[in-house]
Structure 1
Amino acid sequence: MYHIAPMPTAIDAQISQQLHDCETATIGHFRESGFVDPAIRSLLTQTRVVGTAVTLSLPPTDGTLLNHAMRLVRPGDVLVIDRQGDNRHACWGGVMTQVAKGLGVAGVIIDGMATDALTIREQEFPVWCRGVSALTTKLAGLGGTMNLPVSVGGLVIHPGDIILADENGVLVVPADEAEAIAAKAVSLQEQENVILQRVARGERLPDISGATELVDKINRGVT
């Protein structure tokens, strides 16, 4: 049986642009939650996507629902695929890459394997996965879900969550938190630029950051 829920609300264009100016690693400086297992890596050396999570859960050998999803996805969507623990079968390859790119899909996050890595790189289509495999899914008709919560990279991800992904990793945030996170990240990146300018003028990083002062206080027993 295939369980297909309605498509989620798409990300606001202004928030999307704000997040696109942010690095996942910058947000990692001030946030602990929402980061996908770093073993799920980008196949491209440099990339950044922001989009609306469209979630799928696929049985290990069955790619039927993923094929069907190509009539439902919208420009700017990010497919988030739960492979139900399978790390042998690739559900994504060269044909899916070219079809999804033509439809304007922003990227795909797979808790499992992809194939046709060369085509993916030639097409410069953003794919995050655990690795590559020559063994692929088939039109097996075994069922699956779309736009229901999934487990990917150690997180429960809901349809409509916001995905920010780059070569450093994948971040998932609730839609109602995205604007505040983007604003804080942009501010922090601006502060980092100022710090680098101060270092270039001869100041020492631990003096600017306060790290040396903190070490000294702790060693003196000062709270």
Structure 2
Amino acid sequence: MPVTLHDFPAPVDPALLERLARLDFPTLGHYLEEGFCDPRLHRVAGERKLIGRAVTVRITATDSTLLHHAAGLVGPGDVVVIDCGGDRRHAPLGEVVANALAARGAVGAVVDGVCTDIDALRAVGLPVYAYGLSMLTTKLHGIADGALNTPVTCGGVSVRAGDLVLGDGNGLLVAPAGRLAAVLDEALADDAEEPELIADLWRGRPLGALTGATEVVERLSAH
């Protein structure tokens, strides 16, 4: 089957990105159920929060030719999401690809597989998420199979080009911009209230009384 190249997605609203950047990402776990990647897909390099537009690349298990091509097309704010077809042995991303992405202004990479050159990746500082590490790498075979900016699967989540990718030390969330925008006001309000909630706990107030959980339990136990 031939290699398929699709157009790059539309830019993301900068105002939405700025507001999301202020959010503690796990707060979204109070409002959303879908889009959270497998917890085993974790941050292996980089320390800053990840937030950007998904650019998807589907490759075969052993061939990273298309990824090398895509690395020259990404731009500022992009997160390259790599679907390796389920392979967990061949690393498509290492020092050279990470530098290529960073030089273009990409803000991160997510590998639904493994990566390599971990010390170099950490020196680059680009946030990279993967299932683990490997010394076995992909090659430039030029196999006629793969796709750019097509729907892929990563961490058990369907990812479309243009989706937003949010990541920190806790994991990854991938969702359309509109889905995140719909819950963002509530999530930011929760974050703003949390310091006072924690202060109340240290003043001796029970958590269940503050959240309403105790009232619910007492009502349920009365039946």
Q: Shorter-chain TM-score: which interval? A: over 0.9
Q: Distance in 1 between matches of 2:177 and 2:191?
A: 22
Aligned equivalent of 1:192, options 182, 194, 213: 194
* Letter matched to residue 149 of structure 1: P
**What is residue 72 of structure 1 aligned with on the other side?**
73
Q: Distance in 1 between matches of 2:186 and 2:5?
A: 36
Q: Distance in 2 between matches of 1:75 and 1:66?
A: 17
The Cα shift of 1:45 comes to 7.1
* Letter matched to residue 178 of structure 2: D
The Cα shift of 1:178 comes to 2.7
**What is residue 154 of structure 1 aligned with on the other side?**
156
Listed as ranges, the gaps of 5+ residues in structure 1 are none
Listed as ranges, the gaps of 5+ residues in structure 2 are none
Q: Distance in 2 between matches of 1:122 and 1:216?
A: 54
Aligned equivalent of 2:172, options 170, 173, 176: 170
1:92-171 aligned within 5 A: 92-142=93-143, 143-171=145-173
Q: Which moved more, 1:6-15 or 1:181-190?
A: 181-190
Q: Does 1:15 align with 2:5?
A: no
What RMSD, in angstroms, separates the aligned Cα atoms of the two structures? 1.3
Equivalent position SS for 2:66:
helix
**What is residue 50 of structure 1 aligned with on the other side?**
51
Given that 2:72 and 2:101 are in contact with CA atoms closer than 8 Å, whether structure 1 keeps it comes out as no
* Letter matched to residue 36 of structure 2: F
Q: Distance in 2 between matches of 1:121 and 1:183?
A: 34
% of aligned pairs identical?
A: 37
TM-score where L is the length of structure 2: 0.94
Q: Tell me: CA distance 1:159–1:116, structure 2 relative to 1, closer, same or farther (3 Å).
A: same
The Cα shift of 1:189 comes to 0.8
1:197-216 aligned within 5 A: 197-216=199-218
TM-score where L is the length of structure 1: 0.94
1:20-35 aligned within 5 A: 20-35=21-36
Given that 1:23 and 1:166 are in contact with CA atoms closer than 8 Å, whether structure 2 keeps it comes out as no
* Letter matched to residue 36 of structure 1: C
The Cα shift of 1:9 comes to 0.8
Q: Deviations over 1:107-140 (max 9, x none)?
A: 0111100001111112211001000000000001
**What is residue 88 of structure 1 aligned with on the other side?**
89
The Cα shift of 1:59 comes to 0.1
The Cα shift of 1:180 comes to 2.5
The Cα shift of 1:177 comes to 2.3
Given that 2:164 and 2:174 are in contact with CA atoms closer than 8 Å, whether structure 1 keeps it comes out as yes
* Letter matched to residue 155 of structure 1: V
Q: Distance in 2 between matches of 1:181 and 1:110?
A: 27
Equivalent position SS for 2:50:
strand
The Cα shift of 1:101 comes to 1.1
* Letter matched to residue 73 of structure 2: L
Equivalent position SS for 1:28:
helix
Q: Deviations over 1:159-195 (max 9, x none)?
A: 1111111111111111222322322221111121221
Q: Distance in 1 between matches of 2:152 and 2:216?
A: 42
Residues matched between the structures, number: 221
Q: Does 1:37 align with 2:28?
A: no
Q: Deviations over 1:53-110 (max 9, x none)?
A: 1011110000000000122101100011111010000000011111211111010111
